[in-house]
Structure formats: C-alpha cells, structure tokens
Chain A
Amino acid sequence: MSEEFDYLVIGAGPGGYVSAIRAAQLGLKAAIIEREHFGGICLNWGCIPTKALLRSAEVLEFHHHAANYGVKSSGATADLPAMVKRSRDIAKQLNQGVQHLLKKNKVPSFMGAAKLVSKHEVQVTDKAGKTQHLRAKNIVIATGARARILPGMEPDGGQIMSYREAMVAEKIPSHLVVVGTGAIGVEFASFYRALGAEVTLVEMLDRILPAEDAEIAAMAAKSFEKRGMNIRNKAKVSGVKKSPQGLEIMIETKGKQEIIKASHLLSAVGVVANIEDIGLEALSIATETGCIKVNAQCQTNIPNIYAIGDVTKGPWLAHKASHEGVIAAEHASGGHPHELEKLRIPGCTYANPQIASIGHHEESAKAAGYEIRVGRFPFMGNGKALALGEAEGMVKTIFDKKTGELLGAHMIGAEVTELIQGFAVAIGLETTEEELMNIVFPHPTLSEMMHESVLSAYGRAIHI
C-alpha cells in the first residue's frame, strides 16, 4: 500500500506549485506531479521568457533612439540567438528556483504524466513508461492549457509557428503575420517589429486587443501603426499556401480577398485547456466549453477534487492560477478562503507601448447599468514621463457616478504594467474617489498620472 497524501497536485505551473506550497504551509502532507517542466508554461514558455525577449528589444530600441537623449551610439544590432539564450537561461534559473522552493517546503515531486484513476488515486507514468500509483485525500488538477491550433495553421517547425517556436526562433522573420491580437499576439508583434521584421496583425473582430477598453485599444492600434505595423481588422485567414520561397496567406476582410506574402505566420488565437488523458471521463468530472467546471472554492463536481488555473475558465493569467491555487489549498485544509472576483484581476500586456487594465471598461460598465464618470490623463502632462522620453500614453479611470466606486482602470504607455497594482489595491480595499484624491503620490513619478486621472473624473485635474 502506498502512502497517502493529504493534497496531491497535478501540474507544477504557477497554479500547481503555489497551491502545493500553500498546502504544505497549512500543515497538509502535499506532493506534486509534473510531466515536463517545473514552473509550467509561465516560467518556461510564457510570461517570463517573453518578458526577457521584450527587454532585449527595449534595449535595442534605446540604442536606436540614443541620440534623442544626447547619447552617441551607432551600430547596435539585434543578435537574436543571444537574446533567445538569455531568455532560456532566465527560464532555466526560475525552473530550478521552483524545484528549490518545493524542496524547502518539503513537497515531494514526482516526474511523469498523471491520470486520475479514482477519487483518491492517481497513476503516474514516467518517460520510460514505468507507472506508480499515488493516493490522496484531496487532488488538484492544474494541468494548464496549450496553444489553440486552427486547421491550416498547424505549427510546422519552420514557417508556421505557435508561441513556443516564436520564442526560440533562429532567424528574424522578414515578414511576420500574427493571427490573433490578444496579449500574446501583440507582444510577439512588438518584439519582432523592434528587431526589424515587417509585421502584419490579423484580427477577426473589429479591433485589436478586443478584451481591452476600446479607447485604449484604438490608441494601441495607432501606436503600432506609427511603428510600422500593418493591421487588418474583421479579417479571417481563409487559406495558407506554403512554398520554399515563403507563405501566401489568403485573408478575407469585409468580403474582400487579399493575399499577403510573408516569411512566417504566428498563430496566437488563444489557448485550449489540457483536459485530455487525465481521467476526467472515468470520474465524470464536469467540463464546460472545454474547461473544467469549478465552484468559488475551486472544487469540481467531486468535492475532494479541485481544479485551478488555465484548465478552468479564464482569464488565462498566471496570477489568477496562483490565486486559485491558494484558495483550493486553504479550502482543503478546512479554511474559508475569500472568493476570487474576476473583475478584480488585473491584466497586463507587455507590448510597446504597454497596456494594463483592471475591472470594467467603459462599454462593459455601461452595459452593466452603471452611470459612470470617466477620468483621463495623458502621459504628455506628466513631468516624469517627459523626462523619461515617454510622452505617449494615457491613464483612464472609470467611476460609478452614484457611489464613487472605482469600477475600472485602463492604461497605456511606458511601465503601466507596474502601475496597475495601485488601482488593484484601491479596488480590493473598496476605496472611493475621495480616498484616492486624498492620497499623496510622490513627485516626480508616473504614478502621479493615476492621481490626476482620478481628479480628472471629478473635474479637478491640475496639470491639464
């Protein structure tokens, strides 16, 4: 008889490893199973390596614009293999960091693919095909998600890429067509544009960044075009012709056909949850639109089996996965964790310019029946932004006219991904415009724009 764990986690992404560590902190006998890489997509093929690449692009652009700052610099060029190596090294370092954290918290890890065989038992098959069975009181499914593949756009290891191939490319594409303009699509578009590739964004809906506030998305589109990207909205890829010379991508825009000649295509049309081959069917674990169905405590329809992160309904974000990991661990240990409110999860896009947002955007606030007040403050009006040479961007705030509740905040421009947390705290603590107006923001900082945006919603902005 194998030993029994209190808490057994399948998948060591930011959902799974955080959940296992939290469970161990709470005194549960926790263990984790991973088939491929500690840290999941996030550390190995997602959040972190892309941010490392984008930093390289930023450094390159600094050099290109050095003269604007009174610095003579010439001959800066992109060394893509070195950029990729740096990105992979950072991923590796963090991967080892996760293993270290698990050890430190005395969470044993098992390498192999896991499959539920009963409510309390998991079968683990290692690379050599050897199997073992683990028993647990509670089981957490944190198997994450993978790139959605559309027919005709299957990654081929060369011209057609998913995010995985785009992250370790050997050559800068001469012309990259990015299909899908969510965060992942526009981040790679920004990266390769900075490296000199011609870039075309293809979006099926009527605008890029469809999840963002329309005004912010429009500013992003304008900025991308200024940087030389091409954008096709309401556009569908109707076919891809491959030849050794390159790709011919057929695009249908508002009934019109167009053929785009490109060297590469990046398919960034979202993700699908990893729900196959993990034993869901045998246990009749309920799914909904391809994701595992869970309640507010992250329990599936089988109470001792939890599911967290990308394998459940979105948003598909690492911090959402980790937060759910904590909720599941606290619930399994008998606690009463607070519920995760989806409108309080910030989202960040690390394109150039950056985009960060939380809560309702203008359209959704109106659709939800709120009467709103909107504040706006441009980077142009901020001293620190000008000193940085980053005069492009805006901070937008949306308040409930009746109660002063901060319903949402949306930003575009330099470093806004570091700013949004200020509003996340404000929303989490349920501050109103009054407290936000009374808070002292340090000068000179970009954060002053957050203050001014709040003031502007109430007709009190000073520097505009």
Chain B
Amino acid sequence: MANPERVKASPLARRIAKTNGLDLSQINGSGPNGRIIKRDVEQAKAPPQQKPTAAIQHGAQTTTQPEIMPLDGMRKTIAARLTEAKQTVPHFYLTIDCRLDDLLTARKNMNAHLDGVKISVNDFIIKAMALALRDVPDANAQWGGDHILKLKQSDVAVAVAIEGGLFTPVIRAAESKGLKEISAEMKALAGLARDRKLTPDQYEGGSTSISNLGMFGVKNFQAVINPPQATILAVGGGEERLIPINGQAVVANMMTVTLSCDHRVVDGALGAQLLHAFKHYIETPVALAL
C-alpha cells in the first residue's frame, strides 16, 4: 500500500479529490516537484456521467441507442496532438523487412544467462533504433519552426497502451545503455504509465518513437509522428516466412517495420539511411553489444 502521507497535493486539490471520490495516488501532479494541484484533479475528475436517457429507463431500445462517451483528459490530448501532427507534419513512409533469426538466438542465449529480467525483442528494437540514430545523426533531430534542432543523444520513446489510451515514456540516451538496463527501465516506465504516474520529464521530448503492434498479429502499419519528434517506427509481428536465398526457398523469421518521417527534417534518402542502420543492428545483434 502506498503511504497516503507521501502524496504531495495542495489543500484545494485534496478537498476536490475527496468530494469527488478520487484517489490522489492515481493522479499525476503538475505543480512544483510533482505536487498535485487543482488543475490536475479537475483533469482527472471523470466528466459527469451521462444520465441514462428516458428511453433506457423505460426499458425500450436499450441496446440500439448510441451511447455518448464524454472525453477524458487523455482522449482530448490524443485527439488534439495527433490531429495537429497529421495535419501539419508532412509524413512519408518507408518500409523494410528485417530477418530476426540471429536476434532470436542472441536473445535466447542472453536470457539463459540472466535470471529475473528477461530481455524482449522490443528491448533490442529500442537499442537498435538508438544506435541507428547515433550513426545517422542528421536524422536525430526535431522540427523547431524556423530551425532544426539536432539532438546529441538518442532519446527513444516507446508507445505503451493503457486502458483508454496510451503514453509514450522516453528512454533517454538509449544508445549508451545496455540491453539489461533498457529492459529494466522500460519495465519501470511502462508500470508508471499504466498507473498514470509518469511525470512530464519522463514523457516529454524525444528523438523518435517506437510503436509495436506485433503482439496483436499486425504485419505492417504506418504510425503518426509524435511532434516535435521527426520519426516514428511502426513495428509489425515476427513470423516465419519463406524467403529466397541463393535461389533456394528458406524458412526465416521475418519482421516488417515502417518508418514515418517528417519531411521537413528527414528527406527520403536520409530516412532510408536510418532504416538501413536499424536493419543492420537487428540482423547483426553482436553489433548491439559493441
């Protein structure tokens, strides 16, 4: 149990939380040092539930009536930011296939030497993307309106689906972190995201994002860029495919990824370079350890 004394909140925020039956430990504080203030509680306050309509109360048409779902703060943010991104960021998309066999072997070997933490394919993807950005520094940048901001480390955001929406916590300087470290950090951030406890410094900024829908059987898709980032990598599921090698049909574990690029920052050739660097690290996992 969290110690209720440890929650930092203004008296007014406490009062509003109490009268609305809200649990302060579930609310993100935006005040100094994460202090929960009125604005945070108001945002967390579930919008007033729609009263059941007369028709429903009378038992008629219950199942066919459309239902109005009020927007919560997260839905509003997602709506506003992604609409802006899709309308103002000139997206283009690059798709590539990566062979996973060596990576899967490496992962198996590594995990055999680890107890407790298990490194996931996604952890490899984070690290590969971070190193790719390091190797192709021109693609590690953000659009700044009248300038381009070149970043000096690879801050990789990872989309985490949660009930009713998603968060994109950021692994900072992922190029300098080991797989074990990335794995542990990702686990902690995903937990905080699910509890809606991420603080702005844990989700703001970033060089790129990774959105992985492989576990849902998705083969390939195109993701919307999360500004001010210049790219996002959409990752499909790994699967066995027949591929021709030297004229022979070979069964290989394959994964398809699509990179969405902000054309204002990353042109086609630069995006392709980044994607090739990524593919190289995925297909040559020993390079990840160098």
Given contacts A302-B146, A304-B146, contact A429 B15 (CB under 8 A): no
Given contacts A336-B200, A403-B19, contact A432 B12 (CB under 8 A): yes
Contacts of A119 in B (CB 8 A): 146
Given contacts A336-B200, A403-B19, A405-B38, contact A431 B12 (CB under 8 A): yes
Alpha-carbon gap, A28 to B200, bound state (A): 24
- B16 & A303 in contact (Cβ 8 Å cutoff): no
Query: Can you name the residue of chain A whose Cβ is closest to the Cβ of B200?
Result: A336
- B11 & A432 in contact (Cβ 8 Å cutoff): yes
Quick one: which of A332-362 are within 8 Å of B by CB? 336, 338
Quick one: which of B209-246 are within 8 Å of A by CB? none
Would you call the interface of chain A mostly helix, strand, loop, or mixed? loop
| A435 CB within 8 Å of chain B | yes
B11: min CB distance to chain A, Å:
5
Alpha-carbon gap, A338 to B39, bound state (A): 13
- B146 & A430 in contact (Cβ 8 Å cutoff): no
Interface flags, B137-154, vs A, CB<8A=1, else 0: 000000011110000000
Alpha-carbon gap, A338 to B38, bound state (A): 14
Contacts of A303 in B (CB 8 A): 144-146
A436: min CB distance to chain B, Å:
10
Alpha-carbon gap, A430 to B9, bound state (A): 9
- B13 & A430 in contact (Cβ 8 Å cutoff): yes
| B83 CB within 8 Å of chain A | no
Contacts of A304 in B (CB 8 A): 146-147
| B37 CB within 8 Å of chain A | yes
- B200 & A430 in contact (Cβ 8 Å cutoff): no
Alpha-carbon gap, A97 to B67, bound state (A): 66
B19: min CB distance to chain A, Å:
7
Quick one: which of A146-173 are within 8 Å of B by CB? none
- A404 & B146 in contact (Cβ 8 Å cutoff): no
B281: min CB distance to chain A, Å:
30
| B26 CB within 8 Å of chain A | no
| A4 CB within 8 Å of chain B | no
Contacts of B146 in A (CB 8 A): 119, 302-304
- B144 & A435 in contact (Cβ 8 Å cutoff): no
Contacts of B19 in A (CB 8 A): 402-403
Quick one: which of A378-429 are within 8 Å of B by CB? 402-405, 429
Alpha-carbon gap, A138 to B144, bound state (A): 13
Contacts of A302 in B (CB 8 A): 145-146
- B12 & A404 in contact (Cβ 8 Å cutoff): yes
Alpha-carbon gap, A435 to B16, bound state (A): 15
Alpha-carbon gap, A403 to B147, bound state (A): 46
Contacts of A403 in B (CB 8 A): 12, 15-16, 19
Alpha-carbon gap, A403 to B12, bound state (A): 7
| A89 CB within 8 Å of chain B | no
Query: Can you name the residue of chain A whose Cβ is closest to the Cβ of B10?
Result: A430
Contacts of A404 in B (CB 8 A): 12, 15
Would you call the interface of chain B mostly helix, strand, loop, or mixed? helix
Query: Can you name the residue of chain B whose Cβ is closest to the Cβ of A435?
Result: B11
- B11 & A434 in contact (Cβ 8 Å cutoff): yes
Interface flags, B1-37, vs A, CB<8A=1, else 0: 0000000001111011001000000000000100001
Alpha-carbon gap, A431 to B146, bound state (A): 42
Contacts of B12 in A (CB 8 A): 403-405, 430-432
Alpha-carbon gap, A338 to B37, bound state (A): 12
A458: min CB distance to chain B, Å:
14
Interface flags, B61-88, vs A, CB<8A=1, else 0: 0000000000000000000000000000
Alpha-carbon gap, A304 to B145, bound state (A): 9
Partner of A430, one of B38, B144, B204: B38
A107: min CB distance to chain B, Å:
24
Alpha-carbon gap, A434 to B12, bound state (A): 10
Alpha-carbon gap, A6 to B16, bound state (A): 43
- B37 & A430 in contact (Cβ 8 Å cutoff): yes
- B145 & A430 in contact (Cβ 8 Å cutoff): no
Interface flags, B244-267, vs A, CB<8A=1, else 0: 000000000000000000000000
Partner of B11, one of A336, A338, A402, A430: A430
B32: min CB distance to chain A, Å:
8
Alpha-carbon gap, A384 to B98, bound state (A): 81
Alpha-carbon gap, A338 to B200, bound state (A): 13
Alpha-carbon gap, A302 to B13, bound state (A): 36
Contacts of B204 in A (CB 8 A): 336
Contacts of A405 in B (CB 8 A): 12, 38
Contacts of B13 in A (CB 8 A): 430
B38: min CB distance to chain A, Å:
6
Alpha-carbon gap, A334 to B9, bound state (A): 26
Interface flags, B186-216, vs A, CB<8A=1, else 0: 0000000000000010001000000000000
Q: Which of A336, A404, A429, A430 has the most CB of B within 10 A?
A: A430
Alpha-carbon gap, A432 to B11, bound state (A): 6
Alpha-carbon gap, A303 to B15, bound state (A): 39
Quick one: which of A415-464 are within 8 Å of B by CB? 429-432, 434-435
Alpha-carbon gap, A432 to B37, bound state (A): 12
Query: Can you name the residue of chain A whose Cβ is closest to the Cβ of B38?
Result: A430
B203: min CB distance to chain A, Å:
12
A378: min CB distance to chain B, Å:
28
Contacts of A338 in B (CB 8 A): 32
Q: Which of A304, A402, A403, A434 has the most CB of B within 10 A?
A: A403
Contacts of B15 in A (CB 8 A): 403-404, 432
Contacts of B16 in A (CB 8 A): 403
Alpha-carbon gap, A225 to B204, bound state (A): 58
Query: Can you name the residue of chain A whose Cβ is closest to the Cβ of B14?
Result: A432
19 A-B pairs (CB sep. < 8 Å): A302-B146, A303-B144, A303-B145, A336-B200, A336-B204, A338-B32, A402-B19, A403-B15, A403-B16, A404-B15, A405-B12, A429-B11, A430-B10, A430-B12, A430-B13, A430-B37, A430-B38, A431-B11, A432-B15
**Which residues of A does B touch, CB under 8 Å?**
119, 302-304, 336, 338, 402-405, 429-432, 434-435
**Knowing that A302-B145, A402-B19, A403-B19 are A-B contacts, what are 4 other residue pairs whose CB atoms are under 8 Å apart, sorted by A's residue number?**
A303-B145, A430-B37, A431-B12, A432-B11
Q: A-B pairs with the 10 shortest C-beta distances?
A: A430-B10, A430-B12, A303-B145, A432-B11, A431-B11, A405-B12, A435-B11, A432-B15, A432-B12, A403-B16
